[in-house]
Chain A
Amino acid sequence: MNSRKFLVHKALFLALPLAIIGQDSRETVAILDFEGRGISQLEAQTLTDRFRTAVGSAGALRLVERQMMQEVLQEQGFQQTGCTSDECAVEVGQLLGVQNMIGGAIGRVGRTFTIDMRMFSVQTGENIRTKNVSYAGAVDGLITEIEILAYEISGLKAPAPLIAKRKAGVPVQPIVQAPRKTRLGAMLRSMFIPGMGQFYSERRFWGYTWLLSELALAGGIYTFGTQWQTSYDSYNSTIELYNNETDPDMIRGYKEKAQGHHADMDAAATQAETLAYAAAAVWAVNVIHALITGPKKDEDGEETSSLSLPVGLAFDPNTRTTMMQLSIPLGR
């Protein structure tokens, strides 16, 4: 009885400042520690605290401070950790004198985390809002999800920075970093086939430019090479006739023909040689171009290529430790 009286006084004491402050029309809410399933109680409590902070920041609800809650509940002999049922939550809410209660659980199955929470009316026990989220990734990423849920459970839209943070995610880095495209990879590919490095770097225009240029030059070399071969064969056969001929007029004729074929052969060889030099120059410029331009930047405007040392920090979710890693980008 005395404890009940004290409780009433305490509740009035809680309500009074709120009334004095100025008839804040926001609904009151208290948050029970989330139940941890597959995560440690400490982690569950930490996430609950972050959730509380985020609800407070959202500003749509009047939040009972945790400390205050603890004092009230301890006086009444309640342990938050043991209060998981709806009835218990309602009773706690009545003790605290709040309009709404938020409770939930955070579970983990393999690498996937689940957050189930609901806000219900203390008076009616009716669910006001229910939110469920599944998240795959490191525990760190739950913090962002918890913060977003705080806004959503408050009936608000989460701010853009938080949404963006969710999209970016917390990188779950395996021990071996996923390969990234590099300038060196582009250069090596262009050395092998002109334009291939540019395609690798997603610079299709230049890829087609180098490739088609090289093909055109190769086609020219082949054409003049064929002409040279034809003239060479004709020259040899004519020389054979010239050497075996005894009639002076025929000798003169064959000689003139042979000289003509020789001139054609010389011209074709010169052209082929010129185109070969041009092809070599195009190839060299294409390799340098691939090296200098490198892969395109990603959506965030960051260079996807790097010439820096491939050493960094990575979080291994299996061992839950941070370690230094050496990554060797193999390209895509």
Chain B
Amino acid sequence: MLYAIRYILHVLRHTIDLNRRRITSNVQRITLPVLMILLVSCEVPTEVYDNPLDEEAAEEEGIDTPALVFFPDKFEVTAGSSISVQLYALEVTEVAGAHIQLAYDKSLVSVNLINAGDFFSSSSGPVFVYVDDPESGILDIYTSFLGSDSATVSGTGNIATLVLGTTTSGESTISYTDQSELVDRHDNPLELKGLGQGEINAQ
């Protein structure tokens, strides 16, 4: 008798639960779309134009042209992974060669690979020499244009591509030093108004 009563109660509870779920399910079917309509507002995101190669955006960041910048200039990576960063000349005029000196945090970043970019490329190929001093965290790149049609290049272009390794987690920067310069055909230094900076966040 007791067992029968318990069985009946169990069935009743199950039935009530089912109905509650059914009712809840139906209510959810009706209310959720209504709530979504009501609650999801038409948000307008803030306009953010921060491509480092965007001259206007660079000026807003305090980097006037002609300038040397990194592309991209922000990295969010896991510690131990590699990142590829390009060194760009931004809106330069009649450049025959460049000496680029980079400073990086040797405790967090290492230089794994350096390749020449296509800004100074020609049929003869660019002159491209680099010296990396991991002890001091300084990288020097020397490159020049050897074009047959002209002696200089102008505009925006990729001077070099670096592959950096992140050794540990942390935040660090990579930047152009004041020793960086662009020269004309006569090896006279050209005015550089802006030097960009790259931010690396390794988690």
B partners with A: yes
- Interface residue B155 (Cβ < 8 Å from any Cβ of A): yes
Set of chain A residues within 8 Å of B55, measured between Cβ atoms:
248
A269–B56 Cα gap in the complex (Å)? Answer: 28
A269-B42 CB under 8 A given contacts A245-B51, A255-B54, A259-B47: yes
Closest to A243 in B: B51
Set of chain A residues within 8 Å of B86, measured between Cβ atoms:
246
- Interface residue A273 (Cβ < 8 Å from any Cβ of B): yes
User: Please, how many residues of chain B have a CB less than 8 angstroms from a CB on the other chain?
Assistant: 22
CB–CB B49/A255 < 8 A: yes
CB–CB A258/B71 < 8 A: no
A186–B197 Cα gap in the complex (Å)? Answer: 67
A251–B88 Cα gap in the complex (Å)? Answer: 15
Closest to B88 in A: A246
A259–B83 Cα gap in the complex (Å)? Answer: 30
A60–B47 Cα gap in the complex (Å)? Answer: 99
Interface string of A250-275 (1 = CB under 8 A from B): 01100100110010011011001100
Closest to A218 in B: B37
A233–B12 Cα gap in the complex (Å)? Answer: 50
- Given A255-B54, A272-B42: 20 more A-B contacts, CB < 8 Å: A228-B42, A232-B45, A239-B48, A246-B53, A246-B86, A246-B156, A246-B158, A248-B53, A248-B54, A248-B91, A248-B156, A252-B54, A255-B49, A255-B51, A258-B47, A262-B44, A266-B44, A269-B41, A269-B44, A273-B41
A171–B47 Cα gap in the complex (Å)? Answer: 73
A272–B37 Cα gap in the complex (Å)? Answer: 12
Set of chain B residues within 8 Å of A242, measured between Cβ atoms:
49, 51, 54
- Interface residue A235 (Cβ < 8 Å from any Cβ of B): yes
A246–B56 Cα gap in the complex (Å)? Answer: 14
Closest to A236 in B: B45
CB–CB A258/B49 < 8 A: yes
A241–B42 Cα gap in the complex (Å)? Answer: 23
A248–B47 Cα gap in the complex (Å)? Answer: 19
A161–B88 Cα gap in the complex (Å)? Answer: 105
CB–CB A273/B45 < 8 A: no
A268–B43 Cα gap in the complex (Å)? Answer: 10
A228–B43 Cα gap in the complex (Å)? Answer: 9
Set of chain A residues within 8 Å of B54, measured between Cβ atoms:
242, 248, 251-252, 255
